[in-house]
Amino acid sequence: MAGIKWKGMSPDEERAVDEAEEWENRLFAKYPKLFSYRGTRSWCSFDSPTGWRPIVEQACAALAEFEDVRLAQVKEKFGGLRVYYDGNVSDRAREIVHSIEEQSFKTCEECGAPGKLSHVNYWSRTVCDEHLAAWKARDEQRRTARERSLATDPTGRYKR
Ligand SMILES: [Zn+2]
């Protein structure tokens, strides 16, 4: 289950949603057993961190080697990749999952370049310097816009 489309999304954003879904579907098709969790397809919400796709692909390839490992969920949590899985899991499989999660904390989730866990306004993400700067700029823009609208009209309602 990739992202959700809503009214007002730009064509680029819609394309990104389609693209994320196609990528997920390719993974599901490649590793049907790994993604069949308790009779249903695992819920994999990556929130489209495209920079982590190679890590996720690597994880799937490694874990598919284990006969009884099933992925329950793969998602971003506290700025890193979290892999939930099930089965009679060996130490080796646990090690693989652990190293994948560690790797996500060193990899920019946007572009896959070396990155580090960063925080902006109580949000945590793992990003490279370039994407950290872009993220801060976006955050600043949002804050300025909010302050400006409050300054124009402290009640929060626009009077004309
Ligand atoms: Zn980056």
pLDDT of residue 45: 57
Q: Calculate how far, in angstroms, residue 4's C-alpha sits from the geometric centre of ligand 1.
A: 23
Ramachandran category for residue 121: left, alpha or beta (phi over 0 → left; psi -120 to 50 → alpha): left
Query: What is the pTM for the complete model shown?
Result: 0.80
Q: Can you give the pLDDT at residue 140? A: 93
Q: Which pLDDT score is estimated for 64?
A: 92
Of 21, 90, 30, nearest to 58 by C-alpha is 30
Residues having C-beta closer than 5 Å to ion ligand 1: 108, 110-111, 113, 128, 131
Q: What is the largest CA-CA distance in the chain?
A: 67
Distance 111 CA to ligand 1 centre (A): 4
Per-residue pLDDT of the chain (160 residues; tens, 9 = 90+): 455 677 788 888 888 888 888 888 898 899 988 988 766 666 665 556 889 999 999 989 999 999 889 988 888 889 999 988 888 778 888 999 999 999 999 999 999 999 999 999 989 999 999 999 999 999 999 889 888 888 876 665 655 4
Helices (H), the chain: 11-30, 53-63, 91-104, 129-152
pLDDT confidence of residue 110: 93
What's the CA-to-centroid distance between 15 and ligand 1, angstroms? 20
